[in-house]
Chain A
Amino acid sequence: MATTHSGSAKAAATNAVTALLGAGATLTFRLAGTITAPGAVAATLPLSATPFAAASGTTGVAIANAIASDSAAAGNASPVANAALQTSGAVLIIHCAVAASASDINMSGGLTIAPGDTVSCSSLTYQAVPS
């Protein structure tokens, strides 16, 4: 049985989560791990002091404010398996598996970040409750 939430409920759920990030939060790309035992960091991108704008009252989707690049990524020989949004104190708030679908078909094997690569994020959205 499907559960459906109102737009205001979806927005409230998303905003409650993004508010936990606080100033100084970062977006990190990591190797395989969990939220309690995260994998090694391959790249760290600082979020804005207010990481996300308020979520849409219709869809519950929140769009991230400007994200700085990591101009000298730590990198790793293994491909990225997870993305995490974490506080300035390195407390992971959101952790998820990512699947790379590259614009370049040669990269379909996954996303591997080499040491020294520059990693930028031009679009980031979060939705806590899609329906």
Chain B
Amino acid sequence: MTEPLPPAAATPSNADVGAPGGSSLVGAPAELRMTIQVTRASGVVETFELRGEFHGNDA
């Protein structure tokens, strides 16, 4: 007796790529990292470490 084949896995769509909790074709999301300095009118310089992660096409 032949067992039925399991259902085919769903094919990820573009909308799934990188979506939180969804399929990902590229693993971890792309990253943009930067260090910026903002000099205020008072002369005070503030430094920020920014790390951006982005998912999909329009996030």
Residue of A nearest to B54 (CB): A96
Decide if A124 touches B29 in the complex (CB within 8 Å).
no
Cα separation A125 to B30 with both chains bound (whole Å): 11
Question: Nearest chain-B residue to A128 (Cβ)?
Answer: B30
Question: Total interface residues on A, using CB and 8 Å?
Answer: 43
How many CB-defined contacts (below 8 Å) exist between A and B? Answer: 116
Q: Quick one: which of B26-59 are within 8 Å of A by CB?
A: 26-41, 46-54, 57-59
Task: Report yes or no: A97 in contact with B54, Cβ–Cβ below 8 A.
Answer: yes
The interface residues of chain B, by DSSP majority, are classed as: strand
B39 partner residues in chain A, CB cutoff 8 A: 117-120
User: Is A100 engaged at the interface, CB distance under 8 Å to the other chain?
Assistant: yes
A131 at the interface (CB under 8 A from B): yes
Task: Kindly list chain A residues whose C-beta atoms are within 8 Å of the C-beta of B34.
Answer: 27, 83, 121, 123-125
Chain B: interface residue total (CB-CB under 8 A):
30
Distance (whole angstroms) from the CB of A98 to the closest CB of chain B = 4
In whole angstroms, what is the CA distance A107 to B40 when docked? Answer: 13
Are B30 and A83 in contact (CB-based, < 8 A)?
Answer: no
Interface residues of A in 61-111 (CB under 8 A from B): 82-83, 85, 94-104, 107, 111
Which A residue's beta carbon lies closest to that of B39?
A118
Cβ contacts under 8 Å, A118 to chain B: 38-39
Query: Are the CB atoms of A102 and B30 closer together than 8 Å?
Result: no
Q: Which residues of B contact A (CB under 8 A)?
A: 24-41, 46-54, 57-59
Ordered by A's residue number, 8 sampled pairs between the chains whose C-beta atoms are within 8 Å are A83-B34, A96-B52, A100-B48, A101-B48, A103-B49, A114-B40, A122-B36, A130-B27
9 A-B pairs besides A2-B27, A100-B48, A131-B28 with CB distance below 8 A are A3-B27, A82-B52, A99-B52, A103-B48, A104-B46, A107-B46, A111-B48, A113-B38, A122-B36
